[in-house]
């Protein structure tokens, strides 16, 4: 679709393609969070321990983040269109199986099936945008995809709570059936047929297994460190480190690596991926802690608290398409820096909250964090995809989604670690509702200020090390300066 003149507006077919990809991103984001509010009901229904029920969420996240790179590689070899449609089918099938699960063990297994489809959908979205749309509209398109992904993440708890209260926990999975079928039908109609990027390439299955162990044990190890299980957590993290060493060794030797390590020799590419991880981690940490502030410290009802939290995704949704459009015109670097700075300001303001702070101020600070991350994400995606050659875009797209999902997962784990370090072991021993608000505020402040410090470092790195990707209307892939 991307013509050599690279027009500044998407055609009808291009817009429909972007909407199909956005629908997939929305579904993947929705199902990463929709289960949270239903976990207590699921545990009670199956009479399962809370630790086991938590794997309904953790199993999805671990499989999702571990298979993104492999999914992108499969798309490179087999073709993006058939693999993307297969991902929609797997995701939809897994959703129906989850809704019919006869036991908690089956539900966890079916959630992992669902995550395989989610990984494929997430991994191939950015690469299909970059492959079929010219540089003049790439940022705008990626902004729309990012907006829908954040919308899914934001609406997950809201939709989940409504469905669970109106019907049952099974409905949060069965609702994906009509959406998934629509995605498959529209995808078959509007995703262009084209040749695979690397039709003679091989799929690195051993590398995928090693990466699964690396990321899976990393997430499990960080979660295990909490609650007085430091030795066990350290042992699991050691397994992750060993698996990482084996993975790197494998990727250096195999002729068809899952991850092109040579991409990281480009400092700009590396810094931009680190920025994606850091921003996503900060958002996850804020969305984890703010409900405790609103409900425990301020005694605001859960429903009202959920509505107030929408300020962050609203900020993201409003800013992402605009920033994507600006990056198509003026280049990627200035929107990224502006977004990072806005996010830092929002975090610093959150770090100044007290039990008496005006609720309107809280909403404004959340909006600033959301607007800042939205300003950065679309240009970051556009910059990364614009810097790599066509044959490496599948790997780059999978890496982007891996960094984003890993950022969310690590953001939750590291937020709890920092809060535990600030409050001491009692945070792991008792529910937050039993702790004095003043002590909770100290932990919250520490987390927000640590997040601001990390993003200030990232801002400096982007400023000094990242190149500016400026679209050139005469070149479909843009120009890097």
Q: Which of 192-201, 228-237, 340-349 has the lowest mean pLDDT?
A: 192-201
pLDDT of 474: 42
Q: Which of 12-16, 129-133, 233-237, 353-357 has the lowest mean pLDDT?
A: 129-133
For residues 65 and 409, the answer to whether their CB atoms sit within 8 Å is yes
Domain boundaries, the chain: 1-201, 204-255, 260-481
Q: What is the DSSP letter of 352?
A: T
In CATH terms, are 1-201 and 260-481 the same topology? yes
Output the six-digit token pair for 142.
Answer: 């990626």
Q: Which residue bears the tokens 């993006």?
A: 80
Q: How confident is the model at residue 5 (pLDDT cuts 50, 70, 90)?
A: very low
pLDDT of 241: 92
- Quick check: 190 pLDDT over 60? yes
Packing angle, helices 333-350 and 359-387, rounded to 10: 150
For residues 112 and 63, the answer to whether their CB atoms sit within 8 Å is yes
User: Under DSSP, is residue 101 helix (H, G, I), strand (E, B) or coil?
Assistant: coil
CA–CA dist 230, 226 (Å, integer): 7
Q: pTM of whole model > 0.75?
A: no
Distances in whole angstroms, Cα of residue 282 to Cα of each of 308, 340, 458: 18, 11, 12
Those residues whose C-beta lies under 8 Å from the C-beta of residue 35, and which sit 6 or more positions away, are 42, 56, 57, 60, 111, 156, 160, 172
Q: What's the CATH number for 260-481?
A: 1.20.1250.20
- Quick check: 33 pLDDT over 90? no
- Quick check: 165 pLDDT over 50? yes
pLDDT of 453: 94
63-77 pLDDT per residue, tens: 887 787 788 778 877
pLDDT of 355: 84
Query: 3-state secondary structure string, 286-308?
Result: HHHHHHHHHHHHCCCCHHHHHHH
Q: Which of 46-60, 304-318, 339-353 has the lowest mean pLDDT?
A: 46-60
CA–CA dist 79, 81 (Å, integer): 6
Q: Which of 32-36, 412-416, 472-476 has the lowest mean pLDDT?
A: 472-476
* Cα Rg of the chain (Å, integer): 21
Output the six-digit token pair for 224.
Answer: 């295990």
Helix or strand holding residue 476 (H, E)? strand 475-480
How does the average pLDDT of the chain come out, rounded?
A: 78
Q: How confident is the model at residue 478 (pLDDT cuts 50, 70, 90)?
A: very low
399-441 pLDDT per residue, tens: 777 787 788 778 877 887 787 777 665 544 434 444 566 667 7
Q: Which residue bears the tokens 């099938």?
A: 93
Burial (CB count within 10 angstroms: exposed 0-12, middle 13-18, buried 19+), residue 239: middle
Single out the residue of 350, 277, 263 nearest to residue 311, CA to CA.
Answer: 350
- Quick check: 3 pLDDT over 50? no
Q: What average pLDDT score do residues 389-404 get?
A: 69
- Quick check: 113 pLDDT over 90? yes
- Quick check: 134 pLDDT over 80? no
Q: What is the DSSP letter of 478?
A: E
pLDDT of 215: 81
Q: Which of 111-115, 337-341, 383-387, 476-480 has the lowest mean pLDDT?
A: 476-480
- β-pair partners for 475: 472
Would you say the C-alpha torsion 169, 284, 402, 83 has a positive or negative sign?
positive
pLDDT of 431: 44
80-89 pLDDT per residue, tens: 888 888 988 9
Q: Which of 199-208, 237-246, 335-344, 453-462 has the lowest mean pLDDT?
A: 199-208
pLDDT of 4: 40
pLDDT of 302: 58
Those residues whose C-beta lies under 8 Å from the C-beta of residue 64, and which sit 6 or more positions away, are 28, 32, 115, 118, 119, 122, 405
Distances in whole angstroms, Cα of residue 435 to Cα of each of 47, 54, 257, 324: 28, 23, 50, 43
pLDDT of 475: 39
User: Under DSSP, is residue 133 helix (H, G, I), strand (E, B) or coil?
Assistant: coil
Query: 19 or 37: which carries more pLDDT confidence?
Result: 19
Q: What's the CATH number for 1-201?
A: 1.20.1250.20
């Amino acid at each position: 679709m991307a013509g050599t003149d690279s027009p500044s507006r998407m055609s009808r077919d291009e817009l429909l393609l972007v909407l199909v990809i956005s629908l997939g991103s929305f579904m993947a984001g929705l199902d990463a969070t929709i289960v949270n509010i239903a976990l207590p009901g699921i545990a009670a229904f199956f009479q399962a321990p809370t630790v086991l029920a938590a794997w309904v969420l953790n199993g999805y996240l671990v499989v999702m983040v571990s298979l993104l790179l492999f999914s992108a590689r499969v798309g490179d070899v087999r073709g993006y269109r058939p693999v993307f449609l297969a991902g929609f089918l797997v995701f939809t099938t897994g959703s129906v199986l989850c809704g019919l699960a006869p036991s908690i063990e089956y539900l966890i297994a079916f959630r992992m099936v669902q995550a395989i489809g989610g990984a494929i959908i997430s991994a191939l979205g950015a690469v299909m945008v970059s492959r079929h749309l010219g540089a003049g509209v790439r940022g705008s398109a990626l902004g729309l995809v990012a907006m829908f992904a954040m919308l899914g993440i934001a609406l997950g708890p809201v939709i989940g709570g409504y469905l669970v209260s109106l019907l049952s926990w099974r409905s949060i999975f069965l609702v994906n059936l009509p959406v998934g079928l629509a995605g498959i039908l529209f995808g078959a109609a509007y995703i262009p047929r084209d040749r695979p990027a690397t039709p003679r390439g091989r799929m690195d299955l051993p590398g995928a297994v090693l990466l699964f162990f690396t990321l899976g044990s990393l997430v499990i190890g960080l979660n295990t460190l909490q609650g007085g299980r430091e030795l066990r957590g350290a042992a699991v993290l050691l397994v992750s480190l060993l698996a990482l060493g084996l993975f790197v060794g494998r990727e250096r030797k195999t002729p068809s690596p899952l991850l092109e390590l040579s991409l990281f020799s480009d400092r700009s590419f590396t810094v931009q991926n680190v920025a994606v991880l850091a921003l996503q981690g900060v958002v996850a940490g804020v969305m984890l802690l703010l409900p405790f502030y609103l409900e425990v410290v301020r005694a605001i009802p859960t429903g009202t608290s959920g509505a107030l939290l929408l300020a962050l995704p609203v900020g993201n949704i409003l800013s992402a398409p605009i920033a994507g459009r600006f990056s198509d015109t003026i280049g990627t670097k200035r929107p990224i820096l502006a977004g990072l700075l806005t996010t830092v300001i929002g975090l610093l303001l959150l770090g100044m909250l007290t039990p008496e702070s005006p609720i309107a101020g809280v909403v404004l600070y959340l909006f600033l964090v959301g607007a800042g991350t939205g300003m950065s994400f679309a240009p970051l995606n556009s910059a990364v995809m614009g810097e790599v050659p066509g044959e490496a875009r599948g790997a780059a797209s999978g890496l982007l989604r891996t960094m984003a999902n890993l950022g969310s997962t690590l953001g939750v784990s590291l937020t709890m670690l920092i809060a535990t370090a600030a409050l001491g072991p009692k945070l792991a021993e008792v529910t937050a509702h039993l702790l004095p608000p003043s002590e909770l505020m100290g932990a919250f402040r520490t987390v927000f200020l640590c997040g601001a410090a990390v993003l200030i470092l990232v801002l400096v790195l982007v400023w000094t090390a990242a190149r500016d990707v400026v679209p050139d209307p005469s070149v479909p892939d843009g120009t890097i300066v």
